Structure 1
C-alpha cells in the first residue's frame, strides 16, 4: 500500500463561442501529486464562471460553479471521479472515492461508480454551501451526462454540485497517482436572447445549450 498526501489544483478555462450567445466554461482537475501548479484564466464576454473546490488532504469539498460575469446565465456541470482496479492482499478490487451530495432527504453518499452512472432524470439539490437562493433550485442529470441547474445563476451566486469527494488513505498496489484525478467541468450560457423552446427549469437550460449547438 502507498500513502498519497497532496492534491494538485489545475486550471480554469473560459472561452467565447461564435454565434448568437456567449458561452463560458471552467474546468478543474484535482489529483494526488508531489508538485503544484498555479491556475490560468481567460475571460471573454459578459458571462464568466469559475469552478471552485476546497482541497484538504484526501478530500475535495464543495465542488461548485460560481458566476463572476455581468449577466445571469444557464449553467451545466460534470464531476467525473475515477473508478480503477487495484490489487490488494485479497485480490483485485475496485478503487473509487465516495461522493457526497444533497438529495430530497438530506445528505447522501455513494461510491464513485454509482455517481458516474446516475441515470438521466436523476434530481439532486445544490449543496448547503451554495448561495441561499440557489439552494432552492435543483440539479437534473440529462442524457448528455451533464447536470443542469434548474434556475439561472445570477452574478455572484454559487451552486455546489458535490459536497465532498474523498478517497481512502491507503491506495492499492497497481494504481498510479495520475489515475486518481477528479475532473470538475462547467459551462455557462447567457440568459438574454436565448431561445429555450418554451421550456422551464432545468429543461430550459438544456434547451439553451442545445440551441447553441445547433448554431
Structure 2
C-alpha cells in the first residue's frame, strides 16, 4: 500500500531497494542488436530517424559548426526516448520523471555552452543581452530580463521533461487505483480510457525527448 500518491515516483519505496535507477541503463541493452552486419527492420528505422535528426540539427546548429556536434544531440534524444518509453512498462522506474536525472542532462550541457560562449565569443554573448532595436532607456531592464531567462534555461528544460512524465503517469495511476471500485460495465470504459492515455503518453515520450534535444540545439547555436 502506498503511503501517498507520489510514493510511486520514489526510487527507494519499491521492495525497500534502490535498484530502480538501473532502468536507466536498460536502453543500452537494446542498442547492440541494431548494429549487426545484417540490418533488421528496427535498425533501418532507427537509422532513418538518426539521419533525419542529424539533418535537422545540422541546420539549427549551423553548417560551419555541424561536424560531429549533432551526435551529442542525437545521443541526448536517444537516451531520453529510451527512458521515457521504458517508464511506460509496468514495474519499471521512470528515471526521467526525477529532476535528478533531467537536471543531470540539462545543467552540464548548458554550463558547457556558457563557458564556451563567454570564453570564445564574449562580444557575441554580450550582444545577446540587448536585443536589436531596444531603446536606450530599456537597455538595463532588458539585460536583467535576458540574464534571468538565460540562467533559468537548464531548470525549464529539466522541469518540462519531469513534469510531463509525472503528469501522465500520475493520471494513469489514479485511474488504475479506482478500477476495483467500478462495476463490470464501467471497467470497459476505464480500460478504453487507459489505452487512450497509454497512446497519448507514448506520443508525449517522443515529443518531450524531441523538444529537449531541439531546445538544447538552439541554445548551442546562440553561443556560436
Place the TM-score, normalised by the shorter chain, in its bin. Answer: under 0.3
TM-score where L is the length of structure 1: 0.26
More strand by share: 1
TM-score where L is the length of structure 2: 0.25
Decide which structure has the larger Cα Rg and report it.
2
